[in-house]
Structure 1
Amino acid sequence: MPTNKQRRVAAQRRLQRQLERRAELARRRRRNLLVVVTVLAVVLVAGAVALVAGLGGDDDPGAAAASSSSTSAAAEATAAPATTNADGTVGCTYVPDTSGNSNLVEAGTPPDPAATPATGTVSLLMSTSQGEIPLTLDRAKAPCAAASFAYLAQQRFFDGSPCHREVNAESFGVLQCGDPTGTGQGGPTYKFAEEVTPETTYPRGTIAMANSGSPGSTGSQFFLVFTDSQLPPDYTVVGTVDEAGLAVLDTIAAAGNDGSFEPSPGGGAPNLPVTIDSMTVVA
């Protein structure tokens, strides 16, 4: 028969083993939770990268592969940043897009780029199948983009084109337009440099220019921001949408998108189809 002391020792050993098993289970739960959190973080980052990457669209999908060749890279023209003149105007450089993209549409180039106005604003009326969206371009903030946008509007470049992509994410809500082919790969036959700073942000009501992701690849595609959007400062902010225009955008956004661009770059065509009937320079 075991003594009381032996029974106490045996009980203590059983308790110690139970405590060790509980501690091991707790360690496993913490390890599994850490793995789940890490995976979720990677998925969220990848999703954000994919959504942002989708704002590039003025280059042909095959251009990226072609640009890896040193010969193609050397032949590709480079869009230089704007330079400021003594009279306050700026010199803009609009260079030919030699990527071989078959979706580019000839539209000439903005006139007198060496003396582009860098003060004041340009008012546009974007008449769409879902309503009128007044736009204001800021020449002081983005003189080259404002001049190009207004020029293309005067050339009726945007008329009859669809807004091909909508994104309805919590921290990224935009309607993307400006491609006359409606493919998401179209634009003019010229390109120019981005006009951004490290402080560039994209709050609700922003008009910003899309690009291919490479420096100096801004063209005609633009996006209208209806939700404060967390994006890297890589896209030229060219102006703003007024409250009446935002009301139209909110109606479009409320209908959502068809998910045709999921999982990458994200979003899809608007469920309420949006066609730019006309883009008119008002003042």
Structure 2
Amino acid sequence: MASSKDRQRKLARAKYDRQMARRAERERVRRRVMAGVGTGLALVLIVGGGLWIGGVFDSDDTTSTEAGDTCIWTPLDASKNTDLTEVGTPETTNLPESGTETMSITTNQGDPITVSLDVASAPCAAASLSYLAGKQFYDDTDCYEIMAIGAVHCGDPSGTGQGGPTYTFYDENTPVIPDPSASASATESAVLYPKGTVTLIGNPAGSNGSQFLIFFKDYAPTTEAPYSIVGQVTGGDDTLAKIGKITTVADDAGEKVKPKEKITIQSLTVGADDAATVAPSASAQS
């Protein structure tokens, strides 16, 4: 698990690594220039080295770096996991990195659940959800677990916990557990996942795909904060509360997390138009 996390974080820092590699190479060139033999050769190298250090010869690469990857998607081999669904990968550049987007989840349990996606804090998670929604990845899939921590688990078409797209990406916007020696007031405020929080859930942790949780009650973890936050429920509270009250039965592994009543995502959409789509239905009900 640790090696997987390290690999993803290294990929996420690819642009930084390239910059550092270029800087190191420039420094080596500078040292060679300063230690060059022959006055004429040294002069040529000094001029050339000065231009190199100034970035004259790597202007194209500098442009590429400045418009570098916003997100890195680590590919998975579907032939090694038949629960994965081949859908390609989202773009890596020119992705939104500020503001919010609206995610609308229509289920068989009532009014749509609307979520404000925090693009500024979790741009890659928002980009992935938007991409998969555009592929109708979530449509007609079941939320197959109601977890004891007070969250419904959705986003795996296979219903096994092993499914998702053929890529993963790293954690963003993961809350921090308060210091156990902190004051009582700090300890009391350790609800890191308030009711209505939407997070990603990776398998293994830190390796995210399509799976997500919607918390229908507050959750205050005591040892680690395993989920990265992507948004907050802004509508459909009654539907979420209804889902949270569904009785659970044992699944194939013997864990009492399987909803006795099906929770089916009929459609999931992401985008600026979603708010306009949801608004008429709200006004029609008033």
Q: 1:203 and 2:203 equivalent? A: no
- Match in the other structure for 2:93: 114
Which string of whole-angstrom CA distances, capped at 9 and with x for unpartnered residues, describes residues 124-174 of structure 1? 21111112111221101100001001110111000011001002x3xx100
- Match in the other structure for 1:226: 216
Deviation at 1:235, TM superposition (A): 1.5
| Separation (CA, whole Å) in 2 of partners of 1:165 and 1:150 | 23
Letter in 2 for 1:272: E
Change (3 A) 1:163 1:89: farther
State the superposition RMSD in angstroms. Answer: 3.0
Assess if the C-alpha contact under 8 Å between 1:158 and 1:279 holds in 2: yes
- Match in the other structure for 2:121: 141
| Separation (CA, whole Å) in 1 of partners of 2:267 and 2:228 | 23
| Separation (CA, whole Å) in 1 of partners of 2:238 and 2:65 | 41
TM-score w.r.t. length of structure 2: 0.63
| Separation (CA, whole Å) in 2 of partners of 1:89 and 1:120 | 20
2:270 is matched with which residue: 267, 276, 281?
281
| Separation (CA, whole Å) in 1 of partners of 2:151 and 2:145 | 8
2:139 is matched with which residue: 159, 174, 177?
159
1:92 is matched with which residue: 71, 78, 85?
71
Structure 1: 5+ residue stretches without partners: 1-63, 68-72
- Match in the other structure for 1:259: 250
Deviation at 1:86, TM superposition (A): 9.4
Identity across the alignment (%): 37
Letter in 2 for 1:142: A
**Pairing 1:1-283 to 2, within 5 Å after superposition:** 78=8, 80-81=11-12, 91-98=70-77, 100-111=80-91, 113-131=92-110, 132-167=112-147, 169=148, 172-199=149-176, 201-215=192-206, 217-231=207-221, 232-242=224-234, 244-260=235-251, 266-283=255-272
Which string of whole-angstrom CA distances, capped at 9 and with x for unpartnered residues, describes residues 197-231 of structure 1? 4527211110000111344x100000000111133
- Match in the other structure for 1:16: none
Change (3 A) 1:277 1:155: same
Q: Aligned pair count?
A: 204
Structure 2: 5+ residue stretches without partners: 17-63, 178-191, 273-286
| Separation (CA, whole Å) in 2 of partners of 1:136 and 1:178 | 17
| Separation (CA, whole Å) in 1 of partners of 2:268 and 2:12 | 27
| Separation (CA, whole Å) in 2 of partners of 1:165 and 1:197 | 22
Change (3 A) 1:118 1:86: farther
Deviation at 1:181, TM superposition (A): 1.6
| Separation (CA, whole Å) in 2 of partners of 1:198 and 1:247 | 27
| Separation (CA, whole Å) in 2 of partners of 1:225 and 1:115 | 31
| Separation (CA, whole Å) in 1 of partners of 2:217 and 2:120 | 24
TM-score w.r.t. length of structure 1: 0.64
Greater gyration radius? 1
Assess if the C-alpha contact under 8 Å between 1:90 and 1:118 holds in 2: no
Deviation at 1:281, TM superposition (A): 2.4
